[in-house]
Amino acid sequence: MPLNIIVGAQWGDEGKGRVVDLLAGEADIVARYSGGDNAGHTVTVGEDIFKLHLLPSGIVHPHIVGLLGNGMVINPATLLEEIEQVREAGVSVNPDRVKISSAAHLITPGHRALDGARERARGDAKIGTTGRGIGPAYTSKVNRSGLRTELMLVDGALSQALADHLKEVNYQLEVVYREEPLDDQKIIRDFQGYAEQLRPYLSETGAYAEKALAEGKMILAEGAQGTLLDLDHGTYPYVTSSTPTAPGALVGLGLGIGSADRVIGVVKAFQTRVGEGPFPTELEGDLATRLRGTGQNQWDEFGTTTGRPRRVGWLDIVLLRYAIRVNGITEIALTKLDILSGFDQLKLCTAYQIGEEIHQRLPMGPGNLGGMRAIYEELPGWEEDLTSTRQWADFPEAARGYVKALESLLGVPVTIISVGPERSQVIQR
Ligand code: IMP
**CA 231 to CA 310: how far, in whole Å?**
20
pLDDT at 48: 75
Whether 97 is covered by a domain: the verdict is no
Q: Could you tell me if 229 and 355 lie in one domain?
A: yes
Q: For residue 128, give the CATH number of its domain.
A: 1.10.300.10
Q: Which of 21, 41, 111, 338 is catalytic?
A: 41
Answer yes or no: are the C-beta atoms of 10 and 321 closer than 8 Å: no
pLDDT at 305: 75
Q: Could you tell me if 257 and 362 lie in one domain?
A: yes
pLDDT at 370: 82
Residues 6 or more apart in contact with residue 148 via CB below 8 angstroms: 102, 103, 104, 105, 106
**CA 60 to CA 408: how far, in whole Å?**
36
pLDDT at 422: 86
Q: Is the CB of 229 under 6 A from ligand 1?
A: yes
Q: Could you tell me if 8 and 148 lie in one domain?
A: no
Q: Could you tell me if 175 and 242 lie in one domain?
A: no
Whether 98 is covered by a domain: the verdict is no
Amino acid at 365: G
Q: Could you tell me if 193 and 217 lie in one domain?
A: no
Q: Which of 200, 227, 255 corresponds to the end of one domain?
A: 200
Strand-pairing partners, residue 309, are 302
The closest alpha carbon to 362, from 326, 330, 394, 310, belongs to 326
Q: Known catalytic residue: 13? A: yes
Q: Is the CB of 135 under 6 A from ligand 1?
A: yes
Domain around 48: 3-91+205-428
> Pocket of ligand 1, candidates 130, 241, 245: which has the most ligand atoms within 8 Å of its Cβ, to mutate?
130
Q: Which of 184, 200, 216 corresponds to the end of one domain?
A: 200
Q: Could you tell me if 76 and 144 lie in one domain?
A: no
pLDDT at 1: 57
**CA 224 to CA 244: how far, in whole Å?**
6
Q: For residue 324, give the CATH number of its domain.
A: 3.90.170.10
Q: Could you tell me if 394 and 408 lie in one domain?
A: yes
Q: Print pLDDT tens along the chain (429 aa).
A: 599 999 999 999 999 988 998 999 999 999 999 999 999 887 766 677 778 999 998 999 999 999 999 999 999 999 999 999 999 888 999 999 999 999 999 999 999 999 999 999 999 999 999 999 999 999 999 999 999 999 999 989 999 999 999 999 999 999 999 999 999 999 999 999 999 999 999 999 999 999 999 999 999 999 999 999 999 999 999 999 999 999 999 999 999 998 998 999 999 999 999 989 999 999 999 999 999 998 888 889 998 777 889 999 999 999 999 999 999 999 999 999 999 999 999 999 999 998 899 999 988 888 888 888 999 999 999 999 999 999 999 999 999 999 999 999 999 999 999 999 888 999 998
**CA 204 to CA 113: how far, in whole Å?**
30
Q: Could you tell me if 424 and 330 lie in one domain?
A: yes
Q: Could you tell me if 219 and 316 lie in one domain?
A: yes
Q: State residue 49 phi and psi, 5-degree precision.
A: -115, 120
Q: Could you tell me if 272 and 241 lie in one domain?
A: yes
> Pocket of ligand 1, candidates 240, 276, 311, 335: which has the most ligand atoms within 8 Å of its Cβ, to mutate?
240
Atom of ligand 1 nearest to the CA of 277: 10
Whether 138 is covered by a domain: the verdict is yes
Whether 140 is covered by a domain: the verdict is yes
- How distant, in Å, are the alpha carbons of 58, 80, 82, 140, 234 from that of 53? 12, 11, 8, 21, 21
pLDDT at 299: 84
Q: Which of 182, 200, 218 corresponds to the end of one domain?
A: 200
Cis peptide before 309 (omega within 30 of 0): no
Q: Could you tell me if 190 and 222 lie in one domain?
A: no
How many whole angstroms from 37 Cα to the centroid of ligand 1?
A: 10
Domain count, the chain: 2
Q: Could you tell me if 209 and 240 lie in one domain?
A: yes
